[in-house]
Amino acid sequence: MQNVRIWFSKTGAVKYISHLDLTRCMARALKLSGLPVWYTQGFNPRIYMTFAMPLSLGVSGLRECVDIRLTEETGLEDAARRLSAYLPADITVLGLTQPELGFEEAAYGEYELRLEAEHPEALAAELQELLAGETVTVMKHGKKGDKAVDIKPYFSLMEWRTEPGWLVLDVKLPCSLNGSVNPNLLLEALKTLRCLEPYGEITRKRLLTKDFSDMR
Amino acid sequence: MEMYPKEVEKLLLKVQKPGRYVGGETHAVVKDKSQVDVRFAFCFPDIYEIGMSHLGIRILYGAFNQVPYFWCERVFAPWVDMERQMKERGIPLYALESGDPVKEFDFIGFTLQYELSYTNVLNMLRLAGIPLRSADRPELFNIVVGGGPCACNPEPLADFFDLFFLGDGEEVDLEVMELYRQCKKEGAGKQEFLRRAAQVEGVYVPSLYEVEYHEDGTVKSCTPKEGAPAKVRKRSVENMDTAYFPESFPVPLIEVVHDRISVEVLRGCIRGCRFCQAGFLYRPFREKSIDTIDRQCRALCASSGYDEISLSSLSTSDYSCLNELLDRLHTWTEKEKVSLSLPSLRVDNFSPELMTRVNSVRKSGLTFAPEAGSQRMRDVINKNVTREELLHTVNIAFTEGWTRIKLYFMIGLPTETADDVAAIVDLGNQVVDAFFENKEKPRGKAVEVSLSAAAFVPKPFTPFQWFGQDTMEELAQKQQLLKTTKRSRRVSVSYHGAQTSFLEAVFARGDRRLCAVLEKAVEYGLHFDGWDDCFDFDQWMEAFAACGLDPAFYANRTRGFDEVFPWDHLDYGIRKEFLAEECRRAYQAQTTPNCREKCSACGAACFKGGLCVAERKDMV
């Protein structure tokens, strides 16, 4: 049995499908690829797949991963090629590797938030003002109802730059099996506390370990 | 490579399930629009998840796109949240493959699956910015066409559509697209195109018929003009083995209602249940060969990655070599971890062997449709299923470990009495009794029998097309009766909306005067009438009142055998006299044998296909 980690990106139209839909899509592609994937041994056998960290609906991912098992020794480059052929155009296989770290090692996600603004500097000023408050409390919608969260500590180390028409923010947020901070909360804060609703595009560029090195 | 319009991007996160609106599926067909001659927007007047589950769209999408110079794209009705956003931002309805506005398409084609989708049809035209009435679209462009079961009486839509396809679409649709291409080349106008299209078998051009009414509102005459045929005969694909069937289809990225492969194993139905429109519209009964089905199943598995195949048809257990077919498929499906399912089972075809070979239902529940409670009533509707067969079947199910049985019924059937309605509950009680008497029943599990009763809607081209539907008050009384008839604690009863059934009955047998009502309804903002959260009965009644029409005239009036129907100029091969004879037999509770037992000379033999012309070895 060979443990294999599939690295892929999820962008474009496919960023609008849920995590559950992504798993179905990946399962169909694995089935079509003809790779010797291992099935769970239950009453309803399914292709064994575990994803590292689900992406929120609408968030692009540039370096996501999912683990599978192969029942026969298989060349990983060839396997990557075979799988690629059956995935939708907006899911790109970056490569297949032997997993080096368990998913419990994932600690942060590196995000880019692109906020549309006619005057990016003015929006940046608004953001700085927002984060200058003692706390920045937003309601987080969860399965068990809404919960107040102070997002200030998470976004205080954010870096920002401007491009014509855009304010671009780079931020590392907790993203682990023990809990994650959704970058959307910043947009939620802008909306509820500053009455600003800029259009935003969010991308998770990669997953990081607790010492900020790449997941591998 | 997002194809959806750039402006859409900004509102996708403001709506539920944005995956409905982005396309990008594997096997979605994207062509270079500068290289195609005819663009067809295939519109399904309901949401993505329902439309993408529909087999017809998969077949026709494949058939059209096979032709290099045709490009067919998909369009679904945006759900109310998306519609609001699109309207606010002035984004017109667009097609999923190219993201181009529907307004830029040569053909705008709707599949007409149920009457309650008519407001969605008009609403989609509105969202596309296309004039609703055919007369307001003078150019040879934006040709609005329709097909599907409701095209058998498309009169309530007659003013909006340029033409309808009657019957099987695989061939006739392409012929009309070809004709359009030809007319474009020749520089012919729309009127010329329509005149020529009307000469194609299976094409109905409503504007070429003049309808006159009697003072009482019934149809006096329907007169063709400009050389259109007096009777338009439906198209029928003669040979299902050579008929086009796709080897791939766009595989939805989000979960849809039927997330699986669907392979049609036969078309038509031998049964002749008198309430069932499909049973008459799709005659003759035509089967595919095992080789064909096997090949199509393999091809679709190899292209889609799905692990379930539904062997679909109106009544798959009537496939003449079902066991051999399953044997053949099992030679590879198990190895490939693909499961087979049958969409519906007849009470009289259920066997434990069959159940172990298909995974038609989860172990949790089994569904059957006896349709009526009393034997007399089942004879009236020609269901040809007995109480004994039902009890035999549920006993097998209990022995095999099932404990939840769901039974479907109709109320408001012709000649129905209070006793017939009470018999529905009684049948439920008998199923419970059968459980307790069954010695091999599963231990430690309670039996649950749920009875579901829908209100009967009389449809054109059935023996009940003359029948006045029960009024909503009568239906409410019968529902009350269902609720109050003494029943076992293990039996539950449910029924749904008499109001939607009433509206369905109005449009099923409506005439052209209803076009005004539909237009009014859409003006009022009515849409998604099949969805409880959108259906607004009072608004509908206002729309009828505003047009000076009485909906009861269409729904509740019993017609005389000599009445001219709004759909009498449309010919589905079934003789009106045969339907009248079946109606008379129904009222005498006389059954009619199925097509395999004995030909009843319905008229469908004119299509020279399937069972109508097959050699009947077992018949003398």
Residue B620 near chain A (CB below 8 Å): no
Determine the residue of chain A that is closest to B252 in CA distance: A25
Contact B206, B161 (CB under 8 A): yes
Q: Which of A21, A28, A87 sits opposite B19 (nearest CB)?
A: A21
Q: Given the structure tokens 């109050």, which residue do they identify?
A: B484
Mind listing the pLDDT tens digit for each residue in A160-185?
Answer: 999 999 999 999 999 999 999 999 99
Whether B23 and A45 lie within 8 Å, measured CB to CB:
no
Within 8 A of A90 by CB-CB distance, chain B residues are: 1-2, 24
B482-487 — which CB contacts under 8 Å span 24+ positions?
B482/B411, B482/B421, B482/B424, B482/B425, B482/B451, B482/B453, B485/B421, B485/B422, B485/B425, B485/B426, B486/B425, B487/B425, B487/B428, B487/B429
Q: What chain A residue is nearest to B299 in terms of C-alpha separation?
A: A32
Query: Nearest residue on chain B to A184, judged by CA atoms?
Result: B13
Cβ–Cβ below 8 Å for B305 and A28: yes
Q: CB-based contact (8 Å) between B337 and chain A? A: yes
Closest by CA position to B373, among listed B316, B418, B335: B418
The answer, for B334 touching chain A at a CB cutoff of 8 Å, is no
Give the span between the Cα atoms of B563 and B580, in whole angstroms. 12
Chain A residue whose CA is closest to B26: A88
Residues of chain A contacting B7 with CB distance shorter than 8 Å: none
Residue B16 contacts A where some CB pair is shorter than 8 Å: no
Of A45, A87, A199, the CB nearest to B10: A199
Contact between residue B279 and residue B271 where contact means Cβ atoms under 8 Å apart: yes
Record the tokens describing residue B50, joined without a space.
Answer: 């329902």
Distance from CA of B26 to the nearest CA of A (A): 5
Please check the confidence at residue B353 and state whether its pLDDT lies above 90: no
Q: Strands (DSSP E) along B151-260, which ranges?
A: 163-165, 203-204, 209-213, 219-224, 232-233
ipTM: 0.92
Between CA B145 and CA B168 the distance in angstroms is: 14
E strand or H helix that includes residue B409: strand B404-411
pTM: 0.95
Query: Using an 8 Å Cβ cutoff, are B280 and B600 in contact?
Result: no
The reply to whether B306 touches chain A by the CB within 8 Å rule is: yes
Residue A12 to chain B, least CA–CA distance (Å): 6
Q: Do A29 and B24 touch (CB under 8 A)?
A: no
Of A14, A31, A45, the CB nearest to B253: A14
Contact between chains at B255 and A45 (C-beta distance less than 8 A):
no
| Contact list, B3 vs chain A (CB under 8 Å) | 13
Cβ contact (<8 Å) for A14 and B24?
yes
Q: What is the pLDDT of residues A100-135, one digit of tens each?
A: 999 999 999 999 999 999 999 999 999 999 999 899
Nearest CA in chain A to B3: A13
Cβ contact B19–A16 (<8 Å): yes
In A, which residues are within 8 Å of B255 by CB distance?
20-21, 24
B127 pLDDT more than 70: yes
Out of B21, B22, B305, name the one closest to residue A32 (CB).
B305
Using the Cβ of B299 and the Cβ atoms of chain A, whether some distance falls under 8 Å is answered with no
Quick check: B12 contacting A, CB < 8 Å? yes
What is the spatial distance between Cα B267 and Cα B288, in angstroms, rounded to a whole number?
8
Q: Does B249 touch chain A (CB under 8 A)?
A: no
**Chain B contact probe: residue of A9, A14, A15, A17 with most B CBs at under 10 A:** A17
* Rounded alpha-carbon distances, angstroms, from residue B499 to B155, B457, B530, B535, B552: 22, 11, 11, 9, 12
Put simply, whether B19 touches A (Cβ < 8 Å) is yes
pLDDT surpasses 70 at B364 = no
CA distance A62 to A206: 6
Return d(Cα B210, Cα B193) in angstroms, integer: 19
- Closest residue in B to A22 (Cα) is B253
Tell me the chain B residues in contact with residue A57 when contact means C-beta distances shorter than 8 Å: 13, 18
DSSP string computed for B59-89: HHHHHHHHSTTEEEEEEEPPPHHHHHHHHHT
- Please give the share of chain B, as a percent, with pLDDT higher than 90: 89
3-state helix, strand, coil in chain B (%, to 5): 40, 15, 45
Tell me the chain A residues in contact with residue B259 when contact means C-beta distances shorter than 8 Å. 24
Q: Which of A14, A31, A39 sits opposite B305 (nearest CB)?
A: A31
Mean pLDDT of chain B: 95
| Residues B1, A88: C-beta atoms closer than 8 Å | no
Q: Answer with the residue of higher pLDDT: B365 or B100.
A: B100
Residue with tokens 């790779």: A35
Q: Do A21 and B255 touch (CB under 8 A)?
A: yes
pLDDT-based confidence at residue B359 (cuts at 50, 70, 90)? low
The token duo for A41 is 């041994």
Residue type at position B130? I
What are the chain B neighbours of A88 within 8 Å (beta carbons)? 24-26, 253
Q: List pLDDT tens digits, range A173-216.
A: 999 999 999 999 999 999 999 999 999 999 999 999 999 999 99
Task: Give A100-164 as a 3 state SS string.
Answer: CCCHHHEEEEEEEEEEECCCHHHHHHHHHHHHHCCCCEEEEEECCEEEEEECHHHHCCCEEEEEC
Residues of chain A found within 8 Å of residue B24, distances taken between Cβ atoms: 12-14, 88-90
For residue B251, the chain A residues in CB contact (below 8 A) are: 28
Residue B424: CB atoms within 10 A of its CB come to 27
User: How far apart are the C-alpha atoms of A77 and B49, rounded to whole Å?
Assistant: 36
Identify the pLDDT of residue B38. 98
* Tokens of residue B172, six digits: 């006739």
User: For residue A44, what pLDDT is reported?
Assistant: 78
- pLDDT tens-digit readout, A15-62: 999 999 999 999 999 999 999 999 998 777 899 999 999 999 999 999
Nearest to A12 among B1, B251, B307 (CB): B1
Lowest mean pLDDT among B291-295, B357-361, B496-500: B357-361
Touching check for B23 and chain A: CB below 8 Å?
A: yes
* Set of chain B residues whose Cβ sits within 8 Å of the Cβ of A199: 10
Q: What is the mean pLDDT of residues B490-497?
A: 92
pLDDT band per the 50, 70, 90 thresholds, residue B616: low
pLDDT reported for residue B381 = 98
